[in-house]
Structure 1
Amino acid sequence: MELKKLTLNDSSIAYIDKGEGKPIVLLHGFCGGSGYWEHVIPALSTDYRVIAPDLPGHGQSNPLKGKSTIENIADQMKNLLDQLSLSEVTMFGHSLGGYITLAFAEKYGGKLNGYSLIHSTAFPDSEEAKKGRQANIEKVNQSGIYSLIDGLVPKLFSPVNQDENYVGTAMEIGYSTSAEGAIDALNAMKDRPDRNRVLETSEVPVLLIAGEQDQIIPTEKTFSVSKANIKHSLIKDSGHMSMYENPLDLISEIQGYLSTI
């Protein structure tokens, strides 16, 4: 799919902009890219305008200037929407993209008519997870991005969904992440706060999607808040990457949710 580019605060950001109608924003996960949504965008763009950026330091987007935090990345997404003259959107965040979505909801809730976390969580990193982030930072510094991606991507998929094409595609997308971008994102994830309060106080429709076989974020970490305006959806036969492992069910859940907004 064609990527467009804008310069925002001295950083270049690449993004897909496809379709017409109410705007929706798709934010990919760590060491991913807008290409993660290649099986999702065609179906959604028949009825909606789909914006899918490469996050800072990922794909063809430059890293942010200065310290990168989840909040700063959310600011950059707000800048992108402002440049595109989009006053209100529905935002979907996969994994890291979900952390950014929650920060966006906290800071710029008035720009959201709804949002979704896909294989993500409002909880902060545990101490063990923080040590893992630091170990991965050291791995990138010592061995480069390829070493990180080779160890990371297969774990994102369910053990029964190790399709070489899908895993290979996700790895190729991962290799396009800059070392600086990966380290920035690891530090940002490691330092992020608990944002369950954002879910608890949200009044717009919220969709929480978990993978039945997710080895990265267990279901209970995704379904952390239950309220009348929050829907829990479990994707069968999927790990952390339902956009590859079970895209039809993911698309169905997204379309059903959007039809209520």
Structure 2
Amino acid sequence: MTSKLSYIDSGQGTPLVFLHGFCGSKDYWQDLLPLLESKRRVIALDLPGHGDTEPNGKDYQIEDLAEDVHQLIEELGLTDFYLFGHSLGGYITLTYADTYPDKLAGFSLIHSTAFPDDEKGKEGRVQAVQSIKENGIKSFVEGLVPKLFADKDNADVERAIQIGLNTSASGAVGALGAMRSRKDRNDVLKHAKVPVLLVAGEKDEVISSEKTFSVHGPMINEVTLKESGHMGMFEETEKLAEAILAFTE
């Protein structure tokens, strides 16, 4: 089942497409995009059940989300574009790169990983679903978001919470199931024929640098944001913009 994705599209030049993380939206990129759009065309979208995109049913896979993205890419007529995925968005990016490698000029994982959930991670997804069903999305988002930042007192924590509150409960539950069942895609990194940018936060408590930098090779570019947790687009916006512009030259 496909969803019609809400998106923003600005700037001109080489197209860069941005996929947000779990309980995020296109607003996750609102500080970053102005630093790019004078030199690049930037497109940021809302995944199903997030931001302004309606939920598409609660039982779906990462592959279904990649197909939603592909449908929008086709509508926009994009070729030779760069795909950037934050966290959940990175899992979708890897799936897209696996399925449609010829469409991409390059791709990037930002605070994400090619590894699947381990058993502890899978159990955490189940508990998260239970929490949302029992206590609602507001309580869940307010508990989740501070863990994503290196500095829990950062003013952007509240901003990210407000963005997260635009996630529907069914959208969050659907995404949790998709993340829980995703497969190992380290082979996509190993066999990439286009440049890959891996971005990790040195203070990320959600996905460690080791999990992000899982593959090394001539096509792999690694960037560490020294002061960031899981939210480099908020925490070190300018450094992330510099890395993206250098990668997409």
Query: What is the TM-score with the length of structure 1 in the denominator?
Result: 0.93
Q: What is the match of residue 131 of structure 2?
A: 139
Query: Which residue of 59, 75, 81 maps to 2:51?
Result: 59
State the shift of 1:12 in Å.
3.3
The whole-number CA distance in structure 2 between the counterparts of 1:121 and 1:90 is: 18
Is the 2:84–2:93 contact (alpha carbons within 8 Å) kept by the matching residues of 1? yes
The reply to whether residue 166 of structure 1 matches residue 166 of structure 2 is: no
The reply to whether residue 256 of structure 1 matches residue 238 of structure 2 is: no
Q: What is the match of residue 64 of structure 2?
A: 72
Q: What is the match of residue 200 of structure 2?
A: 210
Percent identity at matched positions?
Answer: 48
SS for the counterpart of 2:5 is strand
State the shift of 1:162 in Å.
2.6
| Letter paired with 1:57 | G
SS for the counterpart of 2:99 is helix
The whole-number CA distance in structure 1 between the counterparts of 2:185 and 2:241 is: 26
SS for the counterpart of 2:161 is helix
Query: Which residue of 126, 142, 147 maps to 2:118?
Result: 126
Deviations 1:122-173 (A, max 9, x none): 0000100100000000011111101110110000000x3531x200110000
Is the 2:83–2:104 contact (alpha carbons within 8 Å) kept by the matching residues of 1? yes
Unaligned runs of 5+ in 2: none
Is the 2:57–2:174 contact (alpha carbons within 8 Å) kept by the matching residues of 1? no
| Letter paired with 1:52 | A
| Inter-CA distance 136–203: structure 2 relative to 1 (3 Å threshold) | same
The whole-number CA distance in structure 2 between the counterparts of 1:68 and 1:60 is: 19
Q: What is the match of residue 224 of structure 1?
A: 214
Query: What is the TM-score with the length of structure 2 in the denominator?
Result: 0.97
State the shift of 1:236 in Å.
1.1
Q: What is the match of residue 182 of structure 1?
A: 172
| Letter paired with 1:199 | L
Is the 1:161–1:245 contact (alpha carbons within 8 Å) kept by the matching residues of 2? no
Of structures 1 and 2, the one with the larger relative CO (CA 8 A, separation 6+) is: 2
| Inter-CA distance 138–161: structure 2 relative to 1 (3 Å threshold) | closer
Query: Which residue of 28, 32, 48 maps to 2:20?
Result: 28
SS for the counterpart of 1:144 is helix
The whole-number CA distance in structure 2 between the counterparts of 1:16 and 1:98 is: 19
- Over the residues paired in the alignment, what is the CA RMSD in angstroms? 1.2
Aligned residues between the structures: 249
Deviations 1:168-191 (A, max 9, x none): 110000000000000000000000
| Letter paired with 1:246 | E
Is the 1:161–1:238 contact (alpha carbons within 8 Å) kept by the matching residues of 2? no
Is the 2:58–2:170 contact (alpha carbons within 8 Å) kept by the matching residues of 1? no
The whole-number CA distance in structure 1 between the counterparts of 2:153 and 2:97 is: 34
Q: What is the match of residue 42 of structure 1?
A: 34
Q: What is the match of residue 5 of structure 1?
A: none
Q: What is the match of residue 228 of structure 2?
A: 238
